[in-house]
């Protein structure tokens, strides 16, 4: 099974939120990062998308990348559902 890389995860998330204005997209990404750092207790220095030096720790990085992608998918779907309910 192929492991998704930090770069691939970032690309998927960027495409996922490409419909948003840059400021709104950054707000969503910051919200995801805050959740990972503050609520899951992962130090910022250990997050691969915030610290390029951590991209070599395969299993740890893979789990964090998948978590970030999962949170992005949840937020993306919640936003789409919210917009549909408004219209």
Q: Which residue did the predictor score with more confidence, 28 or 3?
A: 28
**pTM of the entire predicted model:** 0.59
Q: What is the DSSP letter of 3?
A: P
**Rounded-to-integer distance, Cα 6 and Cα 52, Å:** 9
Structure-block tokens of residue 67: 């978590």
Q: Average pLDDT, stretch 48-73?
A: 72
67: confidence class by pLDDT, cuts 50, 70, 90: confident
**Rounded-to-integer distance, Cα 48 and Cα 75, Å:** 20
Average pLDDT, the chain: 79
54: confidence class by pLDDT, cuts 50, 70, 90: low
């Amino acid at each position: 099974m192929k492991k998704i890389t930090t770069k691939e995860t970032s690309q998927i998330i960027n495409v996922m939120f490409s419909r948003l204005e840059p400021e709104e997209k950054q707000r969503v990404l910051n919200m995801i990062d805050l959740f990972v750092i503050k609520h899951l207790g992962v130090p910022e220095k250990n997050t691969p998308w915030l610290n390029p030096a951590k991209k070599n720790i395969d299993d740890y990085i893979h789990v964090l990348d998948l978590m970030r992608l999962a949170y992005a998918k949840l937020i993306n779907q919640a936003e789409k559902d919210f917009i549909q309910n408004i219209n």
